[in-house]
Structure 1
Amino acid sequence: MSDRPDQPEWGIKFSKCFIIPQRVIVAIMGFLAIVNAYTMRVCLSQVIVVLVVPKNVTNHHSQAVCKPEEGDSVTHRPGGDYEWSEKLQGFILGSFYIGYVVTHIPGGILADKFGGKWVLSLGILLTALFSFLTPTCVNLGGANALIALRILMGFGEGTTFPALSVMVSNWVPANERGKLGSLVMGGCCLGSIVGNSISGLILDRFHWPWVFYFFGMAACVWFIIFTLLCYSYPHSHPFIKPSEREYLMNEIPQPKQKPPVPWKAILTNLPMISVIICQIGHDWGFFVMVADLPKYMANVMRFSIKSNGLYSSIPYVVMWLMAVGSGCASDSIIKSGCLSRTNTRKIMTAIAAFGPGIFMVAASYAGCNRPLVVILFTLAMGTMGSYYAGMKLSPLDMSPNYAGTLMAMTNGIAACAGLVSPYVAGLLTPNANMTEWRVVFWLTLGILSATVIVYLIWASGEIQPFDDGTNSNKKKEEPAK
């Protein structure tokens, strides 16, 4: 026990004030980190509807664009003075991911080496500061300034998932990974819920800049609380209960010094390649929904701005519930021995790929039946929730020592879909009608299906040979007995 730092006496006394275990507090604060990251990311999808000049859809065919919702006329629809084409809007929404990709690998490496606390918290704080500046940039510089600022926001948020993966690997034992890991990673669902619904409410009652001020302030409050309560490692936490500290140190041994990242072994590892490919497909489908669902609801289904915020957020409520529920279920399945960790991850991931694609396409054939469209999009996002108990946990399964680096690679490379998918959607929907959006959803189904098949063939839920720092994918031979 001599290699473990002594806990200060004041810390032991202060630990008695906490009823909830520190690993749960870390998971909750990690969850809220992603919530804040996503509210600041997705709220522009609602705001952009009131920034641009409203489309004149009176001459469109009825089967391509629905009649306005009761109480919402074409002449009274909210809109601004910016004549941004659908293609330009797609690029504005996707520009965030240019900066987002850049800081993934550096963020993962820094978090693996120094711990995730400050890599995570400073990234969120930086994004909050840029959120405050968004109204000024739009008013002074228009589309070009907004694109530049969104790239900088992505730069700040790029460290979020790599840093959180490191913190989860350092705080969450393997037998709790599905439950607490899915809770943390499911923050994007609640972030999308809050980002869409609160944005709709604010836009209905206040001027649009208050959307960015509100979410920026919430992120600053999170930063203060997180930096006071959370630490990178159990052994460095001053007021963790000694019993929990000992439990975590025994369950999650922390090496004093990690070997250099075995890049060759990681880049040539088939399970790792399958994870990256599958994440690309997932991100394509997810970002189509995050960036474009509010636009579909506004331009095609003709919901009012208040209803748009509400109905665009409902699918994420079910997705969040599915994420948490599937996490608990996967832990139970693995513990019971009914399925291996690998097969459990594959089943959860398959549900999260085929379900969303099928229901998205079905929604595009539901016409102007608003309740049915909302139900189908809700089922699409709900089934996608099991992804967080599936492929999203694969980097933690395969390499606890390099979880941050692996998450940075998978999330960073796949985030390119966040740049491309809204832009492609904009190219395919110049008139923003139902027929054009149907093509977008069919394309999404094809990408989700093709990429998940690769994962189902080659993915693994077991620790890979490179986890010990060796540049080899060959398993060590067991010594002869």
Structure 2
Amino acid sequence: MPRPHGLSINSAPSDKSEDSEPLIENDEVPPVCCSARLNLAFLMFLGFTVVYGLRVNLSVAMVAMVNNTDSKPAQNHSVIYACPLPPGSENSSDTFQQPDGVPQYPWDSETQGWLLGAFFFGYLCTQIPGGYLSGHYGGTIFMGLGVLGTAVLTLLTPLAAQMGSYWLFALRALEGFGEGVTFPAMMSMWARWAPPLERSRLMTLSGSGGNFGAFVSLPLTGFICQTLGWPAVFYFCGGAGCLWAVFWFIFVYDDPRTHRRISKEERDYIIKSIGSQGTGHGWSVPLLPMLLSAPLWAIIVTQMCSNWSYYTLLTSLPTYMNNIMHFDLKSNGFLSALPYLGAWLCSTLSGVVADSLIERKVFSVTTVRKLFTLSGLLPAAALLVAVSYAGCSHILTITCLTLSSTIGGITASGVFINQIDIAPRYAGFLLGITNTFGTIPGIVAPIATGYFTEDHTLAGWRKVFWVAAGINVGGALIYAMLGSGKIQPWANTEEERDEAERDRSRSITT
């Protein structure tokens, strides 16, 4: 079937047929530099930097908030460490000293696991509603309020911790509830803003703010905890989120058609490139065809599998660095952040390479998405297995963890933006669905880690890394079999379906 006219202008290569010549030549494409779409990507990048700072700050701060890794040690027994303590620290306490007046709490590893997973209980509740509403109304208001609401709640974290672990659990769940709309809102906005041949680079640039946020937040949190006390972490992060929201609401618009500062050339280019798919989906969505869509289920399952290892490291790596590797809090934060520096750089670069392969027609969209997904998941899984056998070697452990997350960043141009390929108009809603399932590992993984590592042994952590690696491989295989980059028939607009029917009738008559 010929490609619908709505997507024929400078559109991405189809898996169904050879590409016709684009109607917009390269020299007619407005430059990306200083463009409205690049400004949007940069503000989204900063937004997700803040979002992940708000999300991971508890992972490092937990080390300072807890006055002992095991609140009920066995009496009359010496503590047995999985790895030897650094020279001169054999007689030191596991407790990190905080400035006078800063409280610490006797939470055991199981309680810590529940607190670290609490965010995701709320996070999964607003993914689908956020995607649906942002696809109908536009994503600006939902992303802005999502970050702002989470930032305001973060300011209350010290108070909630003082009131008790149940209150802190509830607060973190509320933060997740507010933040859950952010990624679906981003996807809905790019459905209206990203020309098909620029999707990978624009979306990976904006989404890579998550990895950059983790990279910045982890060492900064460790530094603040030791110098100012752990409550200051939440005040700084919450204030940053409130400041970002001011710039977001001033400079961002839902649609290039309504943007006040966009050039006419760029506006026309975006609208013509995206065609009728760059409009809202209205109130009705084809739920049954979505439910029966194998490519959508491939995204769901693969994102769940990939997120298991990602969330395991995101929430539990600082604990591993502390309990097993025995790094001090500042080193803990910096070394826990290194994997996210690599993932940030790799994901951003992968977007440029993916767009180049599609634009030059080296591979179809489907092949590019599968290639980048497999290249990210399989080597990352092998390196996680290597971590489990690195033992107490600091250098080998840090190297394998950093390389695993760095290579895993390649999937940013694969399965993690595949929703906009198979159904651009419904991309925000689909991301809400896939992220809802993809958030389940965020709840289960830190809790499972808490159970596996209850005795703080290398054998327990070996189970953690083996399970994450095995799940990664399973996701890669499923996506290789069922993944697709084609626009699904149920995602076409009435205009595109009518045009396709006319083309079919003309071909029959000729």
Equivalent position of 1:108 in the other structure: 131
What is the deviation of 1:75? Answer: 2.1
Q: Distance in 1 between matches of 2:239 and 2:348?
A: 27
Match 2:219 to one of 194, 197, 207: 197
Query: One-letter code of the match for 1:180?
Result: L
Unmatched tracts of structure 1, length 5 or more: 1-17
- Asked if 1:188 is matched to 2:210, the reply is yes
Q: Distance in 1 between matches of 2:50 and 2:91?
A: 34
Q: Distance in 2 between matches of 1:460 and 1:66?
A: 49
Larger deviation, residues 282-291 vs 336-345: 336-345
What is the deviation of 1:19? Answer: 6.9
What is the deviation of 1:85? Answer: 1.7
- Asked if 1:235 is matched to 2:257, the reply is yes
**Radius of gyration: which is bigger?**
2
Query: One-letter code of the match for 2:253?
Result: Y
| 1:233 partner SS | coil
Identity of aligned residues (%): 34
Q: Distance in 1 between matches of 2:333 and 2:280?
A: 48
Query: One-letter code of the match for 2:242?
Result: C
Output one character per residue of 1:355-404: Cα deviation in whole Å (capped at 9) or x when no partner. 22221221121122212211111001101101111101100111110011
What is the deviation of 1:55? Answer: 3.5
Output one character per residue of 1:70-127: Cα deviation in whole Å (capped at 9) or x when no partner. 6796326406642212111111100111110110111001100000000110011000
Unmatched tracts of structure 2, length 5 or more: 1-31, 98-102
Q: Distance in 2 between matches of 1:256 and 1:99?
A: 26
Output one character per residue of 1:11-45: Cα deviation in whole Å (capped at 9) or x when no partner. xxxxxxx9710000111111111111110000100
Residues 69 and 108 in structure 2, CA contact (< 8 A), matched pair in contact too: no
Deviating above 4 A after TM superposition, structure 1's stretches of 4 or more consecutive aligned residues are 56-62, 69-73
Residues 260 and 469 in structure 1, CA contact (< 8 A), matched pair in contact too: no
Query: One-letter code of the match for 1:332?
Result: S
Equivalent position of 1:28 in the other structure: 42
Query: One-letter code of the match for 1:38?
Result: Y
- Asked if 1:463 is matched to 2:463, the reply is no
Q: Distance in 2 between matches of 1:42 and 1:256?
A: 33
Equivalent position of 2:186 in the other structure: 164
Larger deviation, residues 50-59 vs 280-289: 50-59
TM-score by length of 2: 0.86
- Asked if 1:247 is matched to 2:261, the reply is no
Query: One-letter code of the match for 2:479?
Result: Y
Match 1:66 to one of 64, 75, 84: 84
Residues 318 and 332 in structure 2, CA contact (< 8 A), matched pair in contact too: yes
Larger deviation, residues 30-39 vs 299-308: 30-39
Q: Distance in 1 between matches of 2:293 and 2:467?
A: 28
Residues 353 and 452 in structure 1, CA contact (< 8 A), matched pair in contact too: yes
Match 1:426 to one of 426, 434, 450: 450
How many pairs are equivalent? 459
Residues 192 and 279 in structure 2, CA contact (< 8 A), matched pair in contact too: no
TM-score by length of 1: 0.91
Equivalent position of 1:125 in the other structure: 148
Match 1:437 to one of 450, 461, 474: 461
Query: One-letter code of the match for 1:135?
Result: P
Q: Distance in 1 between matches of 2:123 and 2:159?
A: 22
Alignment of 1:24-423 (within 5 A): 24-55=38-69, 59=78, 64-68=82-86, 74-75=92-93, 77-78=95-96, 81-139=104-162, 141-253=163-275, 254-255=278-279, 258=282, 260-423=284-447
Query: One-letter code of the match for 2:106?
Result: E
What is the deviation of 1:196? Answer: 0.3
Flag the 1:397–1:365 CA change in 2: closer, same or farther, 3 A: same
Residues 259 and 469 in structure 1, CA contact (< 8 A), matched pair in contact too: no
Q: Distance in 2 between matches of 1:359 and 1:262?
A: 40
Query: One-letter code of the match for 2:327?
Result: F
Query: One-letter code of the match for 1:203?
Result: C
Larger deviation, residues 175-184 vs 80-89: 80-89
